[in-house]
Structure 1
Amino acid sequence: MSSERRPGTALTSVLGIRHPVVQGPFGGGLSTVELTAAVSEAGGLGSYGLHAVAPERIGSVVDRIRASTTAPFSVNLWIPRAEEERPVPDATALAAHTDRLAAHYAEFGLTPPGLDAANARLDFEAQVDAVLEARPPVISVVMGTPSRRLVEGARRIGATLIGTATTVAEARALQEAGCDVVVASGSDAGGHRGSFLAPVRESLVGTFSLVPQVSDAVTVPVVAAGGIADGRGVAAALALGADGVQVGTGFLRTRESGASQVHRDALASERAETTVLTRLFSGRPARGIANGLVRELADAEDRVPPYPAQNNLMMPIRARAAELGRPDRLNLWSGQAALLASGGAAGDYLAALVSDAGKVLGSPL
């Protein structure tokens, strides 16, 4: 079979990669240069999440990835949502939120963050400037549509632009904004939900319902994301009209990821059979493994402050929990198919995805 007829050719041609597999970008220290490079070297599109990286460090990160692989790679930014990022107004409001977490700070001998720390945030426009100056081959965004400035900047440096949709309407909006590729991210996906045209609760479309509808609605290549962790999932997504897949949790289990050992162990255990959407760790809805903290604070889901305040308040607890190997206090981001992944080396995992999907489809990828 010629390469022109292989499944996923529309995506591989646009991105300049061998296999129609994108590694989902991770934030919060879970992305690593090693993972990004390993996936790209193996023929997929390695990705690095920059949303928590200071603008002055972005150029260094991109330089390190470029020094580790000559293949295309992607960097990811979060589009800020003003309505969600209201600061904590004063010490009284802060106390209400830190009091809720007092027992958890005390458990680890931590001092609650002050008002300035709770409200700390990065300059998104400066991040955009830094990314454009670094000239990565691919830029992806979540949480909204890219600005005209970002779209024009990507065109200027010759970068492919990927947008992330959780509904058909969002997919159309991303294409209209100028995205070259659209990721159709189903509610099965782990980590933060990127819904931006409607509330998350109105945007929880399963991956295999979302993908064919998005494929019918847009003309740019479509990448299926959410609940895809083995070759069967890859084949199913392609059969439903996707031009490729994005795999997050599966690559999070690989040894090159920045996930702590306790996080990897949780993803490989029966605990990963139960995931929930929660705002408790960051202030934005995200899918992770249900644990002690999620259950103990469940009644506060609608009362915690929005991102980034809640994220900043939880950061010390999350960091200490990872250090001490405490999965009951850690944000264990996970999609709904974690146990289908194999772990091990990222390159081997990618090769297995491609090989197994080809066997199911009866066509090489």
Structure 2
Amino acid sequence: MKFIDLQKQYNKIKDNIDNDIKSILNRTDFVLGKKVFNLEKKLADYVGISECITCASGTDALLIPLMAENLKKNDAVFTTNFSFFATAEVISLVGATPVFVDIDKKTFNIDPQLLEKKIIEVVNKGTFKPKAIIAVDLFGQLADYRKIEKIAKKYNLFLIEDAAQSFGSSYKNKKSCSFGDVAATSFYPAKPLGCYGDGGAIFTNDKKKAEIYRSIRVHGQGEDKYDNVRVGINSRLDTLQAAILLSKLSIFNEEIEKRNKIATYYKKHLKNIVEVPFVSNNNISSWAQFSVLAESDKHRNEFIKYLESKNIPTAIFYKKLFSELEIYKNLEKSSFDISRNISSRIFSLPMHPYLDSKQLEMIVQTMKEF
């Protein structure tokens, strides 16, 4: 059994992918080829946003918009304390200062109430100037943008939706990557919509910002790639990856539906064994991960050991909080009681659209036997 089975998915769309790859090899348009621009149009239409800018990774999709904001060392960017490191890393890469906020105990996303409290605290101290918020849609569930967008507007903060794990999710039929001033997603192979390498995309309705992002992704180009009008990076999506994503996009809605059916099955049969994920009203999750809570760190370790003895793979997202990392030891400390508790108990079960009924029954039965 695989934690994520990309082979089964490939077998389903093998002919399309193989033919597209051969076609690109014959055309030799490997960088920013026709398929890249076709993909950007289809992604923008899917999300319901006017501008989509593909790039080389989900990390770059966060980094590029921050670079465009010209942030400085004393500028504060508020974000969750519980996510993959790229979320905090990009803040440091542009020279700004990350300010970590604890999470909601049910959704594991940034807590809007604690976010506003932290903003007020930073304003009152006067050491840093609040400039931006990066809200993460953890494990596929959207953050509470109804509240977060109001906070961003109230304090005039640039809001980035970190949708690395949530492409395909929605709130009241409004798609992931359509919230905030700009959104960033990842096409890393393990994501709900993933390519066969690294890739990412930026979404916005701001045409002026979109042009700046396109410039930054190609070394800050102006009229052409030798007319450099700003400092940029090399972050172009390969045409081969665009072709793979176009093939996967054709079956994506079907896969999201299957992920939700699997999650429903898990929740029904595991709710009396572990604490199962909570999904807020009017939300549809893309279920990048199905993460459950054990009673304690000890209980989690025993659970994982037993599952692995039965050849059932697991993973832990995430063992360490940003605030616990050595590189951020000089930042002001808060208690982070909720994220600390969650990180000590959480583990994830296999989740992908191609889990069959026998595999699901085996996983559930094994957990009941523990």
- Measured against the shorter chain, the TM-score band is 0.3 to 0.5
Query: What is the TM-score with the length of structure 2 in the denominator?
Result: 0.32
Q: Select the structure of larger CA radius of gyration.
A: 2
